[in-house]
Chains A and B, each alone.
Chain A
Amino acid sequence: MDKLQTKKEIELAKAELEKALKKIDADEVTAEADLEKMAESAKALLDINGIC
């Protein structure tokens, strides 16, 4: 395992998260946000679904 490379990947992931979250448009953030549809969509966060 290249520990330095892993550390860099972790730092990169953190930076990407911060970058994404900065783009949240407060006006889009409502209780009626279509998050419900996100949870029902075909792209809903995938995990184990019968074939592992």
Chain B
Amino acid sequence: MAFADRKSLAAHRYKFSKFLISLDGSSVGKPGFIFLYSTRTGRLAKVPSSLGDALLQSFVDEQRFEELSSLIDKGIIVPISQNEIVALAEENQLLENNRKALRFVFQPSGFCQMECGYCGQDHVNEKSHRNVIRDSVSFLDRMIGSRNIELLELGFFGAEAMTGFPEIQLFCDLLKPTLSKYSCRVMSKLVTNGLSVTPSRIAFLKGNAGLASVEVTLDGPPGIHEQSRPMRGGKNESFVRILRNTEMLSRTGGVLTVIRINVSSANVGHISKLLKILANSEIDRNQATVYFAPVHSWGNDAHKSALDPDTFAELDVGWRAMLLNLGWDVGQLPKRRVATCIATTDDGWVVDHSGGVFDCTEKPLVGSYSDHRKGSISDLASGVPLRADRSFRQFGPDLPTSSMCGQCFALPVCGGRCPKEWAEGRIPCPSFKLQAENYLRLAFAAKSFGEKM
């Protein structure tokens, strides 16, 4: 929102945004001030502690326009008449419309070498048939052409995506002419257990699918990781191999390595040991980051071994601090979330290895979600529409009126987080919501560390 001139500025009354984190300056060595961080804009303002509604109005009366403009630009204050929730939804819609992007998650194989305890998938030793791959590309060709798409965001997911690497190669080879024909850029993310990534495979994905990030999971130090993520057939020493591959990945230029750590009551007591191992490894910290995820229901009862949200959040921020103390800034502040996920948009699809189409990556290969299949890729390729509406298309529009999300300062960066969790009766609020001030303090600490790292 912009005000062209002082007359416009003076014509309004203002209120503080509801999407703010407020931090007492004395907690970061600046007594007498408050830091206000806008989750809507990702910007920060330092204001006197005495700045309240009355003083804010005095800015208008005293024509302190530069200060007003700054606070408006940063999203710290908004016109008193603005319904911010509605404005946020409109901004998100505009940003989505302007993106000209499609999201497509491809599952090349139904197989995985691991049998993780929390996994809800029923793995099968099957790969994506050539026809499924052809139909996927044919569908994408039609969508990219008809919607003037400029960016294709690909996801390679499993089971274990790398067990279907020849299928990924075929998919990329068939897709190339489409991307060239429409001058469409491609960017991809690979989610993998880390066992079968090789430099040549990563080089292929970089060159042919615009690989931008790779996510690998490690659930603890040696022994603990294997208890959480055992391999099939009794072979059970995967930690070292995955760590070495993660080191290799992190040294691949232009690709962000994301280490995911799933946390449950079983491994929580061992995470700090894992973090020390990671910090002392050959991982290139400039190209790698870490995040912690609570185990969740994947069509099963895995969530029953999750920690309570407050404890998890306290640990999350403490583990981030630990990594920072070890010289590794893994990022402390969240990005604006314009669309919650694939399931809440009209421009995202998940295709499983058998050609089934879903609107959520949690559903393929999960028996209890088999009736959530939206159709087949062969139908989509032929122009036959999906048989069922997207499960959560109304999730975004309904957020403003939701009793929790509609009033939450974290909404711009959270987007409700996971519609499936809400639908199944669970509250998926992120740790950021529960420890916002500490995340902001850590961001200041990271900046202080900055040059010293």
User: B321 to A29, Cβ gap below 8 A?
Assistant: no
Interchain CB contact (< 8 A) of A48 among B28, B30, B417: B417
Which of the four size classes fits the interface of chain A? 35 or more
User: B269 to A2, Cβ gap below 8 A?
Assistant: yes
> Which of B128-136, B368-376, B444-452 lies at the binding interface?
B444-452
Q: In the bound complex, how far is the Cα of B269 from the Cα of A8, in angstroms? A: 7
CB proximity of B418 to chain A, nearest CB, Å: 6
Q: In the bound complex, how far is the Cα of B213 from the Cα of A41, in angstroms? A: 13
Question: Which residues of chain A from 8 to 43 have a CB within 8 Å of any chain B CB?
Answer: 8-10, 12-17, 19-21, 23-26, 28-31, 33-36, 38-43
Known A16-B318, A46-B331; contact A33-B44, beta-carbon cutoff 8 A: yes
User: B314 to A38, Cβ gap below 8 A?
Assistant: no
Q: In the bound complex, how far is the Cα of B240 from the Cα of A51, in angstroms? A: 25
Give the residues in chain A near B414, CB-CB below 8 Å.
47
Known A13-B318, A19-B325, A31-B44; contact A45-B439, beta-carbon cutoff 8 A: yes
Give the residues in chain B near A25, CB-CB below 8 Å.
29, 448
Q: In the bound complex, how far is the Cα of B321 from the Cα of A1, in angstroms? A: 24
Per-residue A-contact encoding for B416-432, CB less than 8 Å = 1, 0 else: 01100000000000101
Interchain CB contact (< 8 A) of B444 among A10, A17, A29, A45: A29
CB-nearest residue of chain B relative to A44? B335
User: A47 to B444, Cβ gap below 8 A?
Assistant: no
User: A24 to B445, Cβ gap below 8 A?
Assistant: yes
Question: Which residues of chain B from 171 to 190 have a CB within 8 Å of any chain A CB?
Answer: 189
Give the residues in chain A near B446, CB-CB below 8 Å.
38
Interchain CB contact (< 8 A) of A13 among B105, B272, B360: B272
Interchain CB contact (< 8 A) of B321 among A5, A19, A39, A42: A19
CB proximity of A20 to chain B, nearest CB, Å: 4
Q: In the bound complex, how far is the Cα of B173 from the Cα of A22, in angstroms? A: 53
Q: In the bound complex, how far is the Cα of B153 from the Cα of A51, in angstroms? A: 11
CB-nearest residue of chain A relative to B260? A46
User: A14 to B318, Cβ gap below 8 A?
Assistant: yes
Q: In the bound complex, how far is the Cα of B189 from the Cα of A25, in angstroms? A: 36
User: B442 to A23, Cβ gap below 8 A?
Assistant: no
Question: Which residues of chain B from 323 to 372 have a CB within 8 Å of any chain A CB?
Answer: 324-325, 329-337, 341-342, 348, 360-362
User: B215 to A51, Cβ gap below 8 A?
Assistant: yes
User: B46 to A10, Cβ gap below 8 A?
Assistant: no
Give the residues in chain B near A24, CB-CB below 8 Å.
28-29, 441, 444-445, 448
Interchain CB contact (< 8 A) of A51 among B27, B42, B189, B417: B189
User: B30 to A26, Cβ gap below 8 A?
Assistant: yes
Known A28-B448, A29-B28; contact A17-B331, beta-carbon cutoff 8 A: no
Interchain CB contact (< 8 A) of B447 among A34, A41, A42, A52: A34
User: A51 to B256, Cβ gap below 8 A?
Assistant: no
User: A17 to B29, Cβ gap below 8 A?
Assistant: no
Interchain CB contact (< 8 A) of B445 among A9, A23, A34: A23
Q: Any chain A CB within 8 A of the CB of B16?
A: no
CB proximity of B435 to chain A, nearest CB, Å: 9
Give the residues in chain B near A26, CB-CB below 8 Å.
28-30
User: A46 to B447, Cβ gap below 8 A?
Assistant: no
User: B361 to A52, Cβ gap below 8 A?
Assistant: yes
CB-nearest residue of chain B relative to A39? B42
User: B291 to A46, Cβ gap below 8 A?
Assistant: yes
Give the residues in chain B near A45, CB-CB below 8 Å.
291, 331-335, 432, 439
User: A51 to B157, Cβ gap below 8 A?
Assistant: yes
The 10 A-B pairs of least Cβ separation, nearest first, read: A13-B318, A26-B29, A5-B269, A39-B42, A43-B331, A31-B46, A20-B321, A16-B322, A25-B448, A1-B265
| B binding-site residues for A, Cβ under 8 Å | 25, 27-30, 35, 37, 41-46, 103, 105, 153, 155, 157, 189, 191, 213, 215, 256, 258, 265-266, 268-272, 289, 291, 311, 314-315, 317-319, 321-322, 324-325, 329-337, 341-342, 348, 360-362, 414, 417-418, 430, 432, 438-450
Additional A-B contacts beyond A40-B335, A51-B105 (7; CB < 8 A)? A8-B269, A9-B270, A9-B272, A10-B318, A15-B318, A47-B432, A50-B103
- Some 15 contacts from A to B, beta carbons below 8 A apart, are A5-B268, A16-B322, A17-B321, A21-B445, A23-B325, A29-B29, A29-B30, A29-B447, A29-B448, A31-B46, A35-B333, A39-B335, A43-B331, A45-B332, A52-B341
| A binding-site residues for B, Cβ under 8 Å | 1-2, 5-6, 8-10, 12-17, 19-21, 23-26, 28-31, 33-36, 38-52
